[in-house]
Amino acid sequence: MSCVGCCKAIKPRYKRLVDDIFPVNPQDGLVKNNMDKLTFYALSSPEKLDRIGEYLASKLSRDVARKRYTLVKIAMDALDQLLVSCHDYSLNLFVESFLKMVQKLLECDELELQVLATASFVKFANIEEDTPSYHRRYDFFVSKFSVMCHGGTNNDKQRSRIRLSGVKGLQGVVRKTVSDELQVNIWDPIHMDKIVPSLLYNMHDPGFVPVDIESTKDDEHPAQVAETVLRDLICRASYGNLKPVLRPILVHMDNHKLWTPPTFVVKCFKIVMYSVQQQYAYVVIQALMSHLDTHQKSAPDIKAAIVDVLFEAVIIAAGASVGPSVLDVFNTLVKHLRISLDNKSSDETIRAQEKKFEESLINTIGQFANNLPDYQKIEIMMFVMAKFPQFTAEESYGLQMDVQLQTMLLKTLLKVATKYKTVNMANAFPQEFLQPLLRMSLFEEPGMRIIVQEILHTLIDRHENSEKLRHVQVIRDVAKMGIKLEKVSRPDSLFMKKHGSQFYWYLCENMRLESNKVDNFEALYRTMALITVETGSRDIVSDLIRLALDMQNISMNDLSLPLTHKCAIHALVGALLCLVAQICELPELLQYTLEILECRKTEAPHMLPEFAFNRKNRPNSASELHVTILTDFNHKLYPEVETLRDSWVFQQEAISSILMSAEVDVSRLSTSFIQKPLGVSEVDGNRSMSDVNSIVMDFESPEASPMQGRRRETEEITVESLKKMLAEDPKVRREEEERKRLEIVNTFRNDPFEEIVARAEAKSNHFHNKLNEILSMVSRGSDSPAMLRGASKQPPTILDIQFPDLYVY
Amino acid sequence: MEDYKYLFKVVLIGEAGVGKTCLVRRFTQGLFPPGQAATIGVDFMIKTVEIDGDKVKLQIWDTAGQEKFRSITQSYYRAAHGLVLVYDVCSQNTFDALPQWMVDIESFANQKVMSYLVGNKTDRGDAREVPTHIGKQFADRYEMKFLETSAKEADNVDKLFIDMATILTEEIRSRRLVPDSQSADISKDTKSISSCAQCFKL
């Protein structure tokens, strides 16, 4: 092509100018004067610029071939200067020859030239071009710079230089292409798969220790520069481009086995999270999640590392972390929790790692929940609860369920619950949430029951009183304990009036369980105390006292409970009444309580918290403590014969008169909480069809919890029954009820399981028949929408909820 | 001013330690580096050869065989015109790994890529584990070219690369290789400017 010949005289002017810039003696460097002339010429006649470039390029490639490297440097120098001085539209064609020369230099083996070429390229990359170039391609540059990033010369200094050049070159390419959509799409995976691993490879240089960040020298270390480039890259990435960047990062970590220990990965993702545009942060989270999915079968330590990274990322991402698919995120995490638990390995170390993984999963779930608004936290808790096996398969209630899984799920719940800031009881405990939660409080496993109580604690407690009420003790002065009190708001006390009975019933049932340990009693006490502290007011005082009396009754009447349990309950009741009296400002009641306690002190010290909850001996292990208490009581403190004197226990009549004098409504004091839910088993065939309307009435009570509904059913609302109630001695009736209750309890305790099942089935069949009758009647006879709604809604709830309760025994 | 007419990208792949780097070194620099360290990531060499009077430039990307660099090396397959899959005739393992490599090629490389199966290290005849006909069979099954080489003895090395260059040149001449933007240019050197622009399509 260059066939002009060698005669200088007939060369065109631009060629002569170009020739002149090269010195006679290569060592002298660029001839400055002539360079200025060339620049001036190029500026005044820009149309010649491409010719100049072309000619320079051909000269340069000849010099490269002849290995005259000093001349090569001069040529590059000239090119750079021309490039910088000619910001013009004509630059475009010149750039072509410029890039060709850079490529030429990069292609040769000489390290010096490669570094030189990169430096020129970086200079070029910093120039803002105003005319886009559609046909320019950087494939080669990306490939070659990536190769340089992996430079493997043995010479440390050279290696560092070549890698630094490579990283800078990549930065140049990114800068040049990223802002211009008309340019080649640098985000294409084919490029990113080269760029990102190259950066990470340099960042992970084990020889690089960022000891002194201040020193400017560090800035020149490939690791440092690579980090900057990565930040740059991430912060420029838009929604669609983020994935091609993240994928190679994750793959790189996999390939180079960098997950364990996760220090580098965490570092990387911190960089990513801090650089990524806030609104896209959840894409990173999602990428990590799906990566976790792909690692389902990997070693637990890798999974734990991923979750750790996730945890760190979520902290940084804060509000934007979860993105649009909240439940999906939680579903994935819970799913992994489950997989990990199902993965029962006999190997101790693997098991330990799985444990760690599970812990970090739970923490991460908590962290996610932390970023959600409060109402969603409740939703999440309900979602997690729905994962409990028995809610899908009723038969397996408490039997075949994996205790470990449940414990983990409970821990998860607790974690989420601690992040929840309760403002209003009604919001914290929507019916759909409260019901299953309370039902869980009757798990077989005592440890799990404690967790459930803890969940309740953290949800009920609004003033950090929980810690102060940790131990069962007689508090003579509430103010001294530093318990924070606030006036009970109206919605709260309404809530307790409406739903309190559910709490109370489950608490009572909890008391009954033989597997209770000291910790369980303490947890139960704490729940009650917190309810008292948070919502205690005159409105519900009678309920609270009723609760205390019910529990006392349990301890007096339930013969199957061991001695220690009874004492614990007595002591607990005492402490609770004492607290209630103070919170609700009933000095007479306090007086009465203290009298009883005083009396116990002298005559029956085993019924005081100081003894019953004595954990001085071995406060560490609950089970050991249990034993100690037993021995303590048997040998030293507890009387041989089990006696109870009236002066030791709280008398309902006495309390009721005290309350009456304090003008507290005592009507609720006489209805025990204990019987309510059991009433269902007493509803049998003796109700005739003529009662249908009264049943409908029951259903109509709008948000009646199943239990309240039940209560009405037992106390049938007919004139006859009311009359009977009036005539009857309440004590006799109560005894009668107690007897019935015990009977039922015994049936469920002693009868073979099949029989119980059969009975329950028969009952449910019966119920179904009845239901059908009702429904047909309603559809025939009534056009009231309320009835329709009530009838169609309520029965399934009863079915749903009541049967599991029956199985508790 | 063009110093070559066609440019082909050739990528060498294969298990670690089969002698990929040595093959490239032998071809481009004419030397056999004893005690060659493992390649990190990817390495790059260039060599211009003459095929039937046309200058052909071979860009040779020499990839690391180590598993941990697999993802970055795979990203180099796509742009390749020719792939050289290398195994060690003295190591059954490197031969057994070939089917996996074929899967990689199918999933990452261009469909029209020309591939060559090479059994290296024939100089160590006494330690041979993979007979020639077995290698040949494998190559035939996957419709690949087959050659046994020795980088140390410079046996068949030049033939390998010249062969590749010849076949690729012929393909491009007969236009079987569609010259899309990724592939080599069909020289339309009517004007210097256009040829200049062409160069960057490479």
Average pLDDT over residues A751-779: 72
Site of tokens 């404690």:
A450
Q: How many residues are recorded in chain B? A: 202
Asked whether this complex has an ipTM greater than 0.90, the answer is: no
Lowest mean pLDDT among A145-159, A562-576, A740-754, A793-807: A793-807
A608's CB contacts (< 8 A; 6+ apart) are A474, A571, A574, A597, A600, A601
Q: pLDDT at position B112, please?
A: 84
User: How far apart are alpha carbons A496 and A309 in whole angstroms?
Assistant: 42
User: Given pLDDT bands bounded at 50, 70 and 90, which one contains residue B88?
Assistant: very high
Q: Which residues pair with B119 in a beta bridge?
A: B87, B148
Q: pLDDT at position A135, please?
A: 67
- Look at A326 and B43; give whichever has higher pLDDT: B43
Res A520 pLDDT > 60? yes
- Among A61, A96, A248, select the one facing B3 at the smallest CB separation: A61
Say how many CA atoms lie within 13 Å of A150 toward its Cβ: 24
Which residues of B are less than 8 Å from A197 in CB distance? 41, 69, 71-72
Does residue B187 lie in a domain region?
yes
Chain B contact probe: residue of A52, A154, A255, A259 with most B CBs at under 10 A: A255
Structure token digits, residue A364: 């991460």
Q: pLDDT at position B37, please?
A: 87
Judged by CB atoms closer than 8 Å, whether chains meet at B1 and A99 is answered as no
Q: pLDDT at position B92, please?
A: 93
- Taking each helix axis as running N to C, give the angle between helix A156-178 and helix A139-149, from 0 to 180 degrees, rounded to the nearest 10: 150
Does residue B107 lie in a domain region?
yes
Average pLDDT over residues A109-122: 89
Which residues of B are less than 8 Å from A252 in CB distance? 71-72
- Among B71, B78, B192, select the one facing A251 at the smallest CB separation: B71
User: Given pLDDT bands bounded at 50, 70 and 90, which one contains residue A792?
Assistant: very low
User: Given pLDDT bands bounded at 50, 70 and 90, which one contains residue A730?
Assistant: low
Q: pLDDT at position A619, please?
A: 34
B140 to chain A, closest Cα gap in Å: 30
Does residue B67 lie in a domain region?
yes
Closest CA relative to residue B94, chosen from B14, B11, B148: B14
User: Given pLDDT bands bounded at 50, 70 and 90, which one contains residue A706?
Assistant: very low
Q: Which helix (DSSP H) or strand (DSSP E) does residue B55 occupy?
A: strand B54-63
Average pLDDT over residues A130-145: 79
Q: Which residue of A has its CA nearest to B182?
A: A139
Average pLDDT over residues A15-35: 85
User: How far apart are alpha carbons A598 and A613 in whole angstroms?
Assistant: 17
Does residue B1 lie in a domain region?
no
One-letter identity of residue A584? C
Structure token digits, residue A60: 């340069």
Q: pLDDT at position B86, please?
A: 95
User: How far apart are alpha carbons A706 and A499 in whole angstroms?
Assistant: 11
Which residues of A are less than 8 Å from B76 in CB distance? 143, 194
Does residue B78 lie in a domain region?
yes
- Look at B158 and B188; give whichever has higher pLDDT: B158
Average pLDDT over residues A530-556: 82
What is the number of structural domains in chain B?
Answer: 1
Does residue B55 lie in a domain region?
yes
Res B75 pLDDT > 50? yes
Res A601 pLDDT > 90? no
Which residues of A are less than 8 Å from B79 in CB distance? 139, 143, 190
Q: pLDDT at position A800, please?
A: 46
| Domain containing residue B63: CATH number | 3.40.50.300
Average pLDDT over residues A700-723: 49
Q: pLDDT at position B131, please?
A: 92
Chain A contact probe: residue of B21, B44, B77 with most A CBs at under 10 A: B44
Chain A residues near any Cβ of chain B (below 8 Å): 1-2, 50, 54, 57-58, 61, 65, 93, 96-97, 99-100, 107-109, 135-137, 139-140, 143-144, 146-147, 149-152, 154, 189-190, 193-194, 197-198, 201, 248, 251-252, 255-257
Q: What is the mean pLDDT of chain A?
A: 76
Average pLDDT over residues A610-627: 51
Judged by CB atoms closer than 8 Å, whether chains meet at A137 and B40 is answered as no
User: How far apart are alpha carbons A471 and A453 in whole angstroms?
Assistant: 14
Res A351 pLDDT > 90? no
- Among B70, B193, B199, select the one facing A255 at the smallest CB separation: B70
Phi, psi (5° rounding) for residue A263? Answer: -55, -50
Q: Which of residues 43-62 of B touch A (CB under 8 A)?
A: 43-46, 59, 61
Q: What is the mean pLDDT of chain B?
A: 84
Which residues of A are less than 8 Å from B69 in CB distance? 197, 255
Lowest mean pLDDT among A595-609, A764-778, B148-162: A764-778
Average pLDDT over residues A632-649: 60
Max avg pLDDT among A92-106, A583-597, B39-53? B39-53
User: Given pLDDT bands bounded at 50, 70 and 90, which one contains residue A217?
Assistant: low
Res A690 pLDDT > 50? no
Lowest mean pLDDT among A84-98, A154-168, A209-223, A271-285: A209-223
Q: What is the pLDDT of residues A225-275, one digit of tens each?
A: 899 999 989 988 888 888 999 999 999 999 988 888 888 999 999 999 999
Does residue B132 lie in a domain region?
yes
Q: pLDDT at position A719, please?
A: 67
Average pLDDT over residues A200-225: 68
Say how many CA atoms lie within 13 Å of A530 toward its Cβ: 29
Judged by CB atoms closer than 8 Å, whether chains meet at B69 and A255 is answered as yes
Structure token digits, residue A387: 């994962």
- Among B42, B67, B200, select the one facing A137 at the smallest CB separation: B200
Q: What is the pLDDT of residues A379-429, one digit of tens each?
A: 888 888 877 765 444 444 444 446 777 788 888 888 888 888 888 888 888
Does residue B148 lie in a domain region?
yes
Res A620 pLDDT > 50? no
Which residues of A are less than 8 Å from B46 in CB distance? 107-108
Interchain CB contact of B72 with A (< 8 Å): yes
Res A713 pLDDT > 50? no
Res A42 pLDDT > 70? yes
Res A565 pLDDT > 60? yes
Judged by CB atoms closer than 8 Å, whether chains meet at B37 and A50 is answered as no
Which residues of A are less than 8 Å from B200 in CB distance? 96, 99-100, 135-137
Q: pLDDT at position A421, please?
A: 81
Q: Which residue of B has its CA nearest to A248?
A: B71
Domain that holds residue B136: 6-199
Which residues of B are less than 8 Å from A99 in CB distance? 200
In chain A, the domains with their CATH numbers are 1-131 (1.25.40), 466-476+501-506+517-674 (no CATH), 680-807 (no CATH)
In the β-sheet with B54-63, what is the strand arrangement from edge to edge?
A: B42-51, B54-63, B6-14, B82-88, B114-120, B145-148
Q: What is the pLDDT of residues B121-150, one digit of tens each?
A: 999 888 899 999 999 999 999 999 999 999
Say how many CA atoms lie within 13 Å of A107 toward its Cβ: 20
User: Given pLDDT bands bounded at 50, 70 and 90, which one contains residue A180?
Assistant: low
Judged by CB atoms closer than 8 Å, whether chains meet at A97 and B196 is answered as yes
User: Given pLDDT bands bounded at 50, 70 and 90, which one contains residue B120?
Assistant: very high
A183-210 CB burial, b ≥16 within 10 A, e <16: bbebbeebbbbbbbbbbbbbbbbeebee
